[in-house]
Amino acid sequence: MAHSLQARKRVRQTETHTERNKPFRTRAAHAVRDARSAIQRNDDGATDLVRAAQSALDRAARRNVIHPNAAARRKSRLAQQLKAKQTAVAA
C-alpha cells in the first residue's frame, strides 16, 4: 500500500484512468480479433472488418489508451494479412 499522500492520489488516479480507458482498449482488441478471424476464414466482409479495426485502433491511440506506434504497427500487420489472403485467393 502506498504510504505518502501523493502515492495514494496516484493510485486513485490510475484506477480512474484505467476504468475510463477500458472500453476503448476492449473495443480495439475485439475489432482486431474479429478482423483476424475474418481474414483467416476468407470472409467477404473482411475488408470492412479490417477498416473497422483500424478505426478502433486510431480512436484508442488518439486518446492515448495505446501508443500511436503500436496502433500503426497493428494496422499495418492487419493490412498485410488481408492483402496476403486476397492475393492467395485470387491466384
Please report the domains of the chain, with CATH numbers, ordered by start residue.
Answer: 22-90 (1.20.58.110)
Mean pLDDT, all residues of the chain: 95
* Contact between residue 24 and residue 65 where contact means Cβ atoms under 8 Å apart: yes
The predicted structure's pLDDT at residue 41: 94
Residues 86, 48: Cα–Cα separation, whole Å: 14
The predicted structure's pLDDT at residue 1: 74
Model confidence pLDDT, tens digit, residues 15-64: 999 999 999 999 999 999 999 999 999 999 999 999 999 999 999 999 99
Question: First-to-last CA distance in the chain?
Answer: 60
Model confidence pLDDT, tens digit, residues 60-77: 999 999 999 999 999 999
Residue 28: DSSP 8-state: H
Give residues with Cβ within 8 angstroms of 45, minimum separation 6.
38
